[in-house]
């Protein structure tokens, strides 16, 4: 059975940190691809206060076997005290693309 593909979400405070994280994850074969989506407005509760901030969203494509290493590296690079990292299994997709993700993420 092939390694399951994951789509991971992570927000960053600015373009520079988002780019650094994206380049590290892809460069170290922890992710096959990272899309950066600027202009995200995030509203959340932090330390008892409701806050809204401009952020950049990363869409990270990886495989389940690389997730723990990806998480460790992302947490080391991320400037937030508590970075968002959510992984969702990809149930369906273009088979050739999913195979490329598996190959590119170090499978």
pTM score, whole prediction: 0.95
By the 8 A CB rule, do 99 and 26 touch? Answer: no
Domains contained in the chain, CATH given: 5-105 (3.30.70.120)
66 by DSSP, 3-state: which?
helix
pLDDT tens figures, 22-37: 999 999 999 999 999 9
Structure tokens at 20: 């650094």
What does the pLDDT look like over 45-61, one tens digit per residue?
999 999 999 999 999 99
CA distances from 95 to 5, 24, 65, 77, 88 (A): 11, 26, 18, 32, 17
Cα–Cα dist 44/28, whole Å = 31
d(CA 15, CA 39): 10
Check residue 68 and give its pLDDT.
Answer: 98
Which pLDDT band, with edges at 50, 70 and 90, does 1 fall under? confident
Band (107; pLDDT cuts 50, 70, 90): low
């Amino acid at each position: 059975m092939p390694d399951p593909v994951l789509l991971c979400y992570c927000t960053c405070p600015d373009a520079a940190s988002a780019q650094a994280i994206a380049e590290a994850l892809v460069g170290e074969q922890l992710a096959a691809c990272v899309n950066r989506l600027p202009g995200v407005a995030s509203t959340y509760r932090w330390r008892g206060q409701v806050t809204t901030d401009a952020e950049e969203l990363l869409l990270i494509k990886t495989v389940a076997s690389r997730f723990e290493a990806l998480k460790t590296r992302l947490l080391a690079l991320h400037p937030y005290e508590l970075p968002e990292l959510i992984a969702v299994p990809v149930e369906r997709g273009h088979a050739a693309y999913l195979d490329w993700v598996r190959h590119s993420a170090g499978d």
